[in-house]
Structure 1
Amino acid sequence: MELYMFIAYAVVGGLLALALTASTAFSLQRNEQIVASMRKVQVPDSWLPRLATLKAAGAIGLTAGLWIAPLGVAAAAGVTLYFIGAVISHLRVKDYELAPAAVLTVLAAAALALRILA
C-alpha cells in the first residue's frame, strides 16, 4: 500500500512541481497574464519575485521530498498554504475567477496527504 501512495505522490508532486516551475518562470518574466492576475487581487508588483521564490522553493521541496519524506511533507504543506492564500486573495476582492488557484490548492493538499501516507 505504501508503494502505491509513494507512486501517487511522485505523480501528483511531480505535476505540481512542474506547474510551480512554470509559474515561477512566468512570474520572473513578468508575463502579462500573471501580472494582470496579481494586480486584480491587489498584489504589489514588488511581491512578484518573492512569490516566485516561494513557488520555486515549493517545487524544489516537492521534488526533494521523493527522497527526504519530511521535506516533501513540509513543501506540500507550504504550497497548500500558499494556494489557500491565493484563493482567499481572489475572494477578498470578489474575483471569482479562481479555478487555477483552487485546483492547485487541491493538488497541493493531495500531495500533502499522499506524502504523509507514503
Structure 2
Amino acid sequence: MPVAYVVVTVITIAVNAGMAIADFARAKFVLANSAEVGLPQSWLPTLATLKVAGAVGLAVGLLGVRVIGIAAAIGLVLFFVGAMAAHFRARVFHNIAFPGTYLALAIASLGLVIAQ
C-alpha cells in the first residue's frame, strides 16, 4: 500500500471526523459559518453524519474493501462540492479555504484509492 495513499487518506479521515464532532457539538464557529452561508442549523446533524460516513468509509477502504473507499471518497467529493457551492452562492469567501482544502483532500483520496 503506497505511503501517499495512507497518509492522505488518514488526514482526510481525521479532518472529516474532527469537523463532524464540531458539527455535532454545535461549535460556535460552525454555527457562525452556517448562518453566513444560509444553512439551517437543523441540517447540522445530517451533515455531520455524512462526514462520519465518509470518514468511516475511507477507513474501511484502507482496511481493504476498496469499493467502499471509492464510494466514500466520491461521497465526500460531492459533499464538499456542495459546500463550495453554498459558499459561492452566499458570496462568503473569507473562509473558503476550509471547504476548498477538504475538497482537495477528498479528491486526492479518491484519486489515490482508484490508483490502487
Identity value in percent: 37
Match of residue 70 from structure 1: 67
Q: Distance in 2 between matches of 1:38 and 1:65?
A: 30
What's the CA shift string for 1:40-99, capped at 9, x where partnerless?
110101000000000000010010011100000000010011011101100001111200
Match of residue 30 from structure 1: 26
Residue identity opposite 1:43 in structure 2: L
Report deviation, 1:34. 0.6
Match of residue 105 from structure 2: 107
Match of residue 91 from structure 2: 94
Match of residue 5 from structure 2: 9
Structure 2 residue ranges without an equivalent (≥5): none
Match of residue 50 from structure 1: 46
Report deviation, 1:14. 0.7
Report deviation, 1:114. 0.4
Structure 1 residue ranges without an equivalent (≥5): none
Say which SS state the counterpart of residue 96 (structure 1) adopts: coil
Runs of 4+ in 1 over 6 A off after TM superposition: none
The count of aligned residue pairs is 114
Report deviation, 1:110. 0.6
Q: Distance in 2 between matches of 1:9 and 1:40?
A: 34
Q: Distance in 2 between matches of 1:10 and 1:77?
A: 17
Residue identity opposite 2:44 in structure 1: L
TM (norm. structure 2) is: 0.95
Residue identity opposite 1:13 in structure 2: T
TM (norm. structure 1) is: 0.93
